[in-house]
C-alpha cells in the first residue's frame, strides 16, 4: 500500500513550496537529493502519534487530517489541503542524538501525494545552514515546554490546593470541637467520681442510692431526647429552673440550670429527686445528675464531630475517586454532593445552595473522577460570578436518553461578546493570576469528547445556566 517512489522533486518544483522557496541552489540540491515523493490512499495513516519521528512530510496534493489523543480520544486539531503544509518530525533538529516521537498523528483524508525527508537530513541541514536560528529555536521550545509543564502542574495544584484548603478548614472545626469536648469530659468525669463518693458517704441507704442510680439512667435518656428549643424558649426554661433551684436552697443555680435544661430536665423532674433524698443530700445529688447530663451531652458532641469528620472524609474519597475504577456506574447526585461538600468552606454565609434533584434518575456509566472536575469547574465559576450574595442551584433531570445536570447562578451573566470565547483554552476575564481560563475548556473535553455528552450555556443578567447532558447508555 505504501508507495514510496523513487521519484524526486526537481529544484524548480521544490522552490514552489513555501518552505524551500528561499533556499539557494546548493541547499535545494541537497533537499532534492534526499527527498522522495510518496503516495498514499485515502484513510491511510501517514504517521502515528508516539512512534519514533523518522520523517518530515510536506503535502503536495490531497487532504490530510492532524489528530492528537486527548484522554483516550482522537481529537482533530486541523485539516489541510494546502500545498506545502508540513508535519511529522518537525522538531527532529532539536535533538541530534535522540529520535523524538511524533507528537500528533496524520491521516490521509483523500488520496494524497507527499514529499518526504528523513528526519536526520532535516536535522543535519538545519544545524549546518542555520546555526544561530537553531540556538534561538532551542531556547524557544525549551521555554514553551517549561511553560506547558508549569501550566499543567499549576492546574493540578490549584485543584488540589483549593480542595485541601477547603477540606482542612472543614475538618478543623469538628476536630477542634471533639478535642475541646474531650477535655471538658475528662474534667466532669473526675468531678462525678468525687460527688459519688460524697453521696455514698454512708448517708444514703442502699435503696435510696439505688433510686438515685435510676434517676441517673433516666437523666441519660432524657438528655438524648432533649427537646429542641428556640433560644427564647431555652432562656425561659433556664429561668424557671433557676427559680426552682433557688427555692430549694441550691447554690449556683445559674451554673446548673443551663446544663440541666439542655438535658431536658425541668422542675417537675427534680421534684422527684427532692422526694427521694434528704435536703442535705439534695445539692450533691443534683450536681451529680448535672454531671451525668453534661457528660452525656459532651459525648453527643464528640459523636457528632466524629460523624462530621467521617462524612467529610467519605465525601473527599467520593470526590477524589481514589480507590475507584475510573469508568464506573455512578449516581450523579453522589458526585454532585461530594463536590458541593468540598466547596462548603468556600460558600459564603449569604450564598444559598439549592438542590433540585430528580432522585428517579438512573445511575449512569461515567468517568466519575473527571466528572467531579467538571462540577468543580462549573460550581467554581458560578460561585465566582455570584460573589457575596446570591443563589447557586444544582438541578438534575432526565431528557429522553440523557441525564441533565444544570448549574445555575444568579451572577451578572456572560456578555454576548465573551460568550463565544469562554470554551477557548486560556480565555479568562479574571484578573491576571486568578484564572487560568482552562476550567471550561477542560470541562468541555471531559463532557463532550470523553462522555459523548453535551455542555451548553445560556446566560442573561441574573441567570446563567451551564447545562451538562450525559448519555444514559454511556460511551
Ligand atoms: N457562571 C459564569 N458567569 C459569568 N461568567 C462566566 C461563568 N462561567 C464562566 N464565565 C466566563 O468564562 C470565562 C472562562 O471560564 P473558565 O472556567 O474557562 O476560566 P476561568 O474561570 O476564568 O479560570 P479558572 O477556571 O482557571 O479559574 C471566565 O473568565 C468568565 O468570564
Ligand atoms: Mg473557571
Q: In testing the pocket of ligand 1, which one of 155, 381, 437 has its CB within 8 Å of the most ligand atoms?
A: 381
For ligand 1, say whether the CB of 423 is within 6 Å of any of its atoms: no
Closest ligand to C-alpha of residue 425 is 1
Ligand 1 nearest atom to the CA of residue 436, by list position: 26
With a cut of 90, say whether residue 224 has pLDDT above it.
Answer: no
**How many angstroms separate the alpha carbon of residue 429 from the centre of ligand 2?**
10
Evaluate whether 338 touches 206 at the Cβ level (below 8 Å).
no
Residue 96 confidence (pLDDT):
58
Question: Residue whose CA is closest, atom 28 of ligand 1?
Answer: 428
**How many angstroms separate the alpha carbon of residue 173 from the centre of ligand 1?**
31
The residue count of the chain comes to 475
For ligand 1, say whether the CB of 393 is within 6 Å of any of its atoms: no
For ligand 1, say whether the CB of 438 is within 6 Å of any of its atoms: yes
Q: What is the pLDDT of residues 297-332, one digit of tens each?
A: 888 888 888 888 887 787 777 777 666 777 889 999
For ligand 1, say whether the CB of 53 is within 6 Å of any of its atoms: no
With a cut of 90, say whether residue 373 has pLDDT above it.
Answer: no
Closest ligand to C-alpha of residue 443 is 1
Q: What is each CA distance from 29 to 4, 12, 32, 88, 363, in whole angstroms? A: 20, 10, 5, 22, 65
Q: What is each CA distance from 386 to 83, 422, 475, in whole angstroms? A: 50, 17, 34
Beta strands at 351-356 and 390-399: parallel, antiparallel or unpaired: parallel
User: How many Å apart are CA 469 and CA 268, to the nearest integer?
Assistant: 61
pLDDT tier for residue 165 given thresholds of 50, 70 and 90: low
Question: Residue whose CA is closest, atom 19 of ligand 1?
Answer: 437
Please state at what angle helix 206-224 crosses helix 279-320, rounded to 10 degrees: 30
For ligand 1, say whether the CB of 259 is within 6 Å of any of its atoms: no
CA dihedral 127, 130, 135, 140 (to 10 degrees): -110
Q: In testing the pocket of ligand 1, which one of 416, 418, 437, 458 has its CB within 8 Å of the most ligand atoms?
A: 437
For ligand 1, say whether the CB of 245 is within 6 Å of any of its atoms: no
Residue 69 confidence (pLDDT):
76
Q: What is the pLDDT of residues 186-215, one digit of tens each?
A: 888 887 777 777 666 666 677 777 888 888
In 3-state terms, what secondary structure has residue 453? coil
pLDDT tier for residue 1 given thresholds of 50, 70 and 90: very low
User: How many Å apart are CA 366 and CA 354, to the nearest integer?
Assistant: 24
For ligand 1, say whether the CB of 430 is within 6 Å of any of its atoms: yes
Question: For cell 486541523, what's the residue?
Answer: 78
For ligand 1, say whether the CB of 284 is within 6 Å of any of its atoms: no
Q: In testing the pocket of ligand 1, which one of 153, 428, 438, 462 has its CB within 8 Å of the most ligand atoms?
A: 428
Residues 6+ apart with CB under 8 A from 237: 229, 261, 266
With a cut of 90, say whether residue 291 has pLDDT above it.
Answer: no
Question: Residue whose CA is closest, atom 27 of ligand 1?
Answer: 435
Evaluate whether 38 touches 5 at the Cβ level (below 8 Å).
yes
Question: Residue whose CA is closest, atom 31 of ligand 1?
Answer: 429
pLDDT tier for residue 343 given thresholds of 50, 70 and 90: confident
- The domains located in the chain, with CATH, are 3-129 (2.60.120.10), 165-312 (no CATH), 325-471 (3.30.565.10)
Q: How many CB atoms lie within 10 A of CB 37?
A: 18
Please tell me the chain's helix, strand, coil percentages from 3-state DSSP, rounded to the nearest 5.
Answer: 50, 20, 30
Ligand 1 nearest atom to the CA of residue 385, by list position: 3
Average pLDDT over residues 434-441: 82
In 3-state terms, what secondary structure has residue 416? helix
Q: What is the mean pLDDT of the chain?
A: 85
Evaluate whether 327 touches 353 at the Cβ level (below 8 Å).
no
Dihedral of alpha carbons 138, 143, 145, 146, sign: positive
With a cut of 60, say whether residue 378 has pLDDT above it.
Answer: yes
**How many angstroms separate the alpha carbon of residue 107 from the centre of ligand 1?**
35
How far is C-alpha 366 from the chain's CA centre?
Answer: 15
Residues 6+ apart with CB under 8 A from 411: 382, 384, 385, 386, 387, 390, 462, 464
Beta strands at 105-108 and 463-471: parallel, antiparallel or unpaired: unpaired
Residue with the larger pLDDT of the pair 21 and 147? 21
Helix H segments across 344-397? 368-386
Average pLDDT over residues 223-238: 87
With a cut of 50, say whether residue 108 has pLDDT above it.
Answer: yes
User: How many Å apart are CA 309 and CA 311, to the nearest integer?
Assistant: 5
Evaluate whether 79 touches 66 at the Cβ level (below 8 Å).
yes
Q: How many CB atoms lie within 10 A of CB 26?
A: 9
Dihedral of alpha carbons 382, 386, 387, 389, sign: negative
Closest ligand to C-alpha of residue 428 is 1
Closest ligand to C-alpha of residue 154 is 1
* DSSP string covering 13-51: HHTTSTTTTT--HHHHHHHHHH-EEEEE-TT-EEE-TTS
Instruction: Give the closest residue to 226 by CA, choosing from 238, 208, 213, 210.
Output: 238
Evaluate whether 467 touches 408 at the Cβ level (below 8 Å).
no
Ligand 1 nearest atom to the CA of residue 411, by list position: 3
How far is C-alpha 314 from the chain's CA centre?
Answer: 14
Closest ligand to C-alpha of residue 420 is 1
Amino acid at each position: 500500500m505504501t508507495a514510496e517512489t523513487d521519484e524526486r522533486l526537481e529544484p524548480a518544483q521544490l522552490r514552489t513550496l513555501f518552505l524551500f522557496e528561499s533556499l539557494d541552489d546548493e541547499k535545494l540540491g541537497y533537499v532534492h537529493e534526499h527527498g522522495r515523493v510518496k503516495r498514499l490512499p485515502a484513510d491511510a495513516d501517514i504517521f502515528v502519534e508516539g512512534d519514533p519521528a523518522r520523517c518530515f512530510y510536506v503535502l503536495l496534493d490531497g487532504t490530510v487530517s492532524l489528530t492528537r489523543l486527548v484522554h483516550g480520544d482522537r481529537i482533530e486539531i486541523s485539516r489541510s489541503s494546502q500545498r506545502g503544509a508540513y508535519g511529522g518530525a518537525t522538531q527532529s533538529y532539536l535533538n541530534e542524538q535522540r529520535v523524538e516521537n511524533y507528537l500528533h498523528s496524520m491521516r490521509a483524508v483523500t488520496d494524497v501525494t507527499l514529499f518526504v525527508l528523513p528526519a536526520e537530513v532535516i536535522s543535519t541541514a538545519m544545524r549546518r545552514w542555520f546555526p544561530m536560528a537553531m540556538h534561538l529555536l532551542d531556547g524557544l521550545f525549551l521555554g514553551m515546554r517549561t511553560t506547558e509543564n508549569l501550566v499543567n502542574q499549576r492546574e493540578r495544584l490549584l485543584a488540589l490546593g483549593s480542595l485541601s484548603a477547603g477540606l482542612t478548614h472543614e475538618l478543623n472545626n469538628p476536630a477542634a470541637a471533639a478535642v475541646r469536648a474531650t477535655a471538658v469530659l475528662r474534667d466532669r468525669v473526675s468531678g462525678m467520681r468525687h460527688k459519688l463518693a460524697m453521696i455514698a458517704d454512708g448517708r444514703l441507704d442502699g435503696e435510696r442510692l439505688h433510686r438515685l442510680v435510676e434517676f441517673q439512667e433516666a437523666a441519660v435518656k432524657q438528655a438524648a431526647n432533649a427537646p429542641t428549643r428556640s433560644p427564647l424558649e431555652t432562656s425561659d426554661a433556664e429561668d424557671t429552673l433557676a427559680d426552682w433551684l433557688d427555692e430549694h436552697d441550691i447554690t449556683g443555680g445559674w451554673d446548673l440550670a443551663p446544663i440541666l435544661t439542655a438535658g431536658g430536665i425541668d422542675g417537675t423532674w427534680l421534684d422527684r429527686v427532692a422526694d427521694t433524698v434528704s435536703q442535705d443530700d439534695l445539692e450533691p445529688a443534683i450536681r451529680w445528675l448535672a454531671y451525668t447530663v453534661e457528660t452525656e451531652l459532651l459525648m453527643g458532641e464528640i459523636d457528632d464531630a466524629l460523624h462530621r469528620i467521617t462524612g467529610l472524609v467519605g465525601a473527599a474519597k467520593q470526590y477524589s475517586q481514589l480507590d475507584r475504577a475510573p469508568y464506573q456506574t455512578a449516581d450523579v447526585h453522589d458526585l454532585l454532593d461530594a463536590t458541593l461538600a468540598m466547596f462548603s468552606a468556600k460558600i459564603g454565609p449569604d450564598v444559598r445552595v439549592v438542590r433540585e434533584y430528580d432522585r428517579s434518575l438512573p445511575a449512569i456509566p461515567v468517568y466519575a473522577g473527571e466528572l467531579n472536575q467538571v462540577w468543580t469547574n462549573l460550581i467554581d465559576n458560578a460561585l465566582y460570578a455570584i460573589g457575596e450574595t446570591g443563589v447557586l442551584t444544582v438541578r438534575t433531570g432526565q431528557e429522553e436518553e440523557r441525564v441533565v445536570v444544570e448549574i445555575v447562578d444568579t451572577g451578572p451573566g456572560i456578555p454576548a461578546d465573551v460568550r463565544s470565547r469562554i470554551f477557548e483554552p486560556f480565555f479568562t476575564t479574571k484578573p491576571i493570576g486568578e484564572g487560568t481560563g482552562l476550567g471550561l475548556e477542560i470541562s468541555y473535553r471531559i463532557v463532550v469528547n470523553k462522555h459523548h455528552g453535551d455542555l451548553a450555556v445560556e446566560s442573561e443578567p441574573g441567570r446563567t445556566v451551564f447545562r451538562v447532558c450525559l448519555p444514559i447508555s454511556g460511551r
